[in-house]
Amino acid sequence: MTFDVHQLDVFVLVGAVVTLAAILAVRVSAGAGLPSLLIYLLIGVLLGESGPFAIAFDDAQLAHALGFGALAIILAEGGLTTEWRQMRSSIRLGLSLATLGVAVSVAVVAVGTHYLLGLPWELAILLGAICSPTDAAAVFSVLRALPLPKRLTGALEAESGLNDAPTVVLVGIISTGAVGTSGVVEVGGIIVFELVVGGLLGVAIGVAGAWIMRRAALPSSGLYPLAVMCLAFTAYGVAAAVHASGFAAIYVAALILGNSELPHRVATRSFAEGVAWLAQIGLFVMLGLLLSPSRIDGHTVVQALVTGLVLTIVARPLSVLASSIVQPMALRELGFISWAGLRGAVPIVLATIPLAEGVDGADELFDIVFVMVVIYTLLTGPTLPWVAERLHVARRNEPRGLDVEVAPLDRVAADLLQVTIAPTSKMHGVEVGELRLPPGCSVSLVIRSGTVLVPERRTVLRAGDDLLVVTPRKQREATEDRLRQVSQNGRLAQWLGDPSRPDRD
């Protein structure tokens, strides 16, 4: 089949219209508190064989390959936009969730679906492995909009960035029939090898890449984001070439690059976010196209509901509890982590592996996973803010840090904090000079009832004010901590060692 200019014109028109509609749908999904994947999946279903456009797409191998490529882009963006200082306090729990937690979840879901749904052991274990990993795109997009302690968001982001590797290995081994010749110890060894070697390669390429980018004098600022993304994908390709985890490598490399003082750092992050959104849109629409709604019946829905109940009510809490051995937390925090195990594209993409390998029952498995993801995303996504409030893990009056690019960025490294003074904040009535911010930091603007004020030291802050605070990047954490102290305790808050301030983690 040839692809001529006329077909290109049609492809460009349809692709542009669908992508624009998907981008505008982000506003709708954000307002409803839903991950945007649901709208994108719906667009794919409407474009598919049962929709008005009747686009036929049933190439599981192509879907598998494109899905892995899109996941790599999403993980790269996640690493580039994740702050290490936010993650480091909970990296042990994140790693435990991505390894021990996945193992516990796979076992519980496999046993539950085998006995409750009567699935053969091979399909039951496959279903457990497919459903156990959390989705990076869903976690990054939903949790970053919630005012949560760093230790919770850090653990969940680390888990979603690293748990793809062991499940990809497990699903691949089972789907290809290699599990019959590989024992549990051997499978475990393969998973450990892939994670460790992939992570080490990610560290090496990330550190080397940051060194190169700091010394490269590229002729255009637009080349820096491209170079950073290429470095991240180099980590993926090198790891895949030595049969290690490309997903672990690209996430770790991007995490190091994103937290290094690189030229045009903000532009790089913005570029990565845009590419990741495009990857999400294409991925979810493609997965929606792959679904055959005619196969979905009441039996499939029941199977999806049972699988989701086992996963959400039994497997996820047990896996979180077991993983917390390495880093104990309060039960309310573990409860939120359990509820926040968002599934999205990752399980559906993993379900394309047995489809591509021609495993018996793979179609049924794909349908179960697809329906389960839709139902439980509708359940968990919108309720996360409510659950955070009920479990008392949400933080109020959290200053939201926004990076600002100041040319030349390779010489000036500064951040802009946008701080909203809530009605309950004790910052009300405090003068700007009484904030006693770290050296080099200043309140540049106060926005009050739509009026922009240039503050002086004696300017009195009021509830409802929005502050723009400029801080050197190295002082950002200290600046945020100081603002939290004043918000919590007023102008007399101590500079250091305030026992009543919110936990920094």
Give 460-503 pLDDT, tens digit per residue: 998 888 888 888 877 877 888 888 888 888 877 654 444 334 44
405: confidence class by pLDDT, cuts 50, 70, 90 = very low
DSSP letter at 293? G
Kindly give, in sequence order, each residue whose CB lies less than 8 Å from that of residue 146, ignoring residues fewer than 6 positions away. 153, 384, 385, 388, 394
Asked whether the predicted pLDDT for residue 3 surpasses 50, the reply is: yes
CB 326 within 8 A of CB 96: yes
Instruction: Quote the pLDDT of residue 335.
Output: 92
Q: Which helix (DSSP H) or strand (DSSP E) does residue 88 occupy?
A: none
Instruction: Quote the pLDDT of residue 115.
Output: 93
The three-class DSSP label of residue 200 is: helix
* Residues paired with residue 414 on neighbouring β-strands, in sequence order: 472
Amino acid letter, residue 481: D
1: confidence class by pLDDT, cuts 50, 70, 90 = low
Q: What's the mean per-residue pLDDT of the chain?
A: 82
Q: Which tokens is 306 given?
A: 């049972």
Instruction: Quote the pLDDT of residue 404.
Output: 32
Find where tokens 């690019």 sit: 405
Classify the C-alpha dihedral 228-232-233-234 as positive or negative. Answer: positive
For the ranges 50-59, 228-237, 285-294, which has the lowest average pLDDT?
A: 50-59
For the ranges 45-59, 152-166, 217-231, 368-382, which has the lowest average pLDDT?
A: 45-59
The three-class DSSP label of residue 460 is: strand
Q: What is the CA radius of gyration of the chain?
A: 24
Of the two residues 149 and 495, the one the predictor is more confident about is 149
Give 190-234 pLDDT, tens digit per residue: 888 888 899 999 999 999 999 998 887 788 878 889 999 999 999
Amino acid letter, residue 169: V
Classify domain 400-489 at the CATH topology level.
Alpha-Beta Plaits (3.30.70)
Asked whether the predicted pLDDT for residue 34 surpasses 80, the reply is: no
Mean pLDDT of 138-159: 77
Distances (CA, A) of 266 to 32, 153, 404, 474: 28, 21, 7, 16
Closest CA to 131 of 153, 110, 157, 158: 110
Give 315-356 pLDDT, tens digit per residue: 999 999 999 999 888 899 999 999 988 787 788 888 888 888
For the ranges 52-66, 74-88, 325-339, 364-378, which has the lowest average pLDDT?
A: 52-66
CB 73 within 8 A of CB 141: no
For the ranges 26-35, 190-199, 266-275, which has the lowest average pLDDT?
A: 26-35
What is the C-alpha separation between 242 and 246, in angstroms, rounded? 10
Asked whether the predicted pLDDT for residue 158 surpasses 70, the reply is: yes
DSSP code string of 384-419: HHHHHHHTT---SSPPEEEE---SSTTT--EEEEEE
Asked whether the predicted pLDDT for residue 78 surpasses 90, the reply is: no
184: confidence class by pLDDT, cuts 50, 70, 90 = low
pTM for the model = 0.74
What is the C-alpha separation between 319 and 338, in angstroms, rounded? 8
Which residues make up the CATH 1.20.1530.20 domain(s) of the chain? 5-64+82-187+280-390
Amino acid letter, residue 123: L
2: confidence class by pLDDT, cuts 50, 70, 90 = low
Phi/psi for 449 (5° steps) reads 55, 40
Mean pLDDT of 48-53: 67
Mean pLDDT of 425-441: 87
Q: Which helix (DSSP H) or strand (DSSP E) does residue 452 occupy?
A: strand 451-453
Which residues make up the CATH 3.30.70.1450 domain(s) of the chain? 400-489
Classify the C-alpha dihedral 185-186-191-195 as positive or negative. Answer: positive
Of the two residues 19 and 181, the one the predictor is more confident about is 19
Kindly provide the b/e burial profile for residues 251-269, where b requires at least 16 CB atoms within 10 angstroms of the residue's own CB.
Answer: bbbbbbbbbbebbbbebbb
Instruction: Quote the pLDDT of residue 402.
Output: 32
For the ranges 1-10, 73-82, 117-126, which has the lowest average pLDDT?
A: 1-10
First-residue to last-residue Cα distance in the chain: 57
CB 269 within 8 A of CB 403: yes
Instruction: Quote the pLDDT of residue 226.
Output: 92
Task: Strand 414-420: give its sheet, edge to edge.
Answer: 400-403, 414-420, 466-472, 442-448, 451-453
DSSP letter at 36? T
Give all strands (DSSP E) within 138-219, no chain letters: none
Give 442-452 pLDDT, tens digit per residue: 888 888 888 88
Kindly give, in sequence order, each residue whose CB lies less than 8 Å from that of residue 204, ignoring residues fewer than 6 positions away. none
Give 232-268 pLDDT, tens digit per residue: 999 999 999 998 889 889 999 999 998 887 777 778 8
Find where tokens 């009050």 sit: 448
What is 5-64+82-187+280-390's CATH number, 3.50.50.60, 3.30.1330.10, 1.20.1530.20, 2.70.70.10? 1.20.1530.20
Instruction: Quote the pLDDT of residue 145.
Output: 66
Closest CA to 249 of 202, 193, 200, 195: 202
The three-class DSSP label of residue 450 is: coil
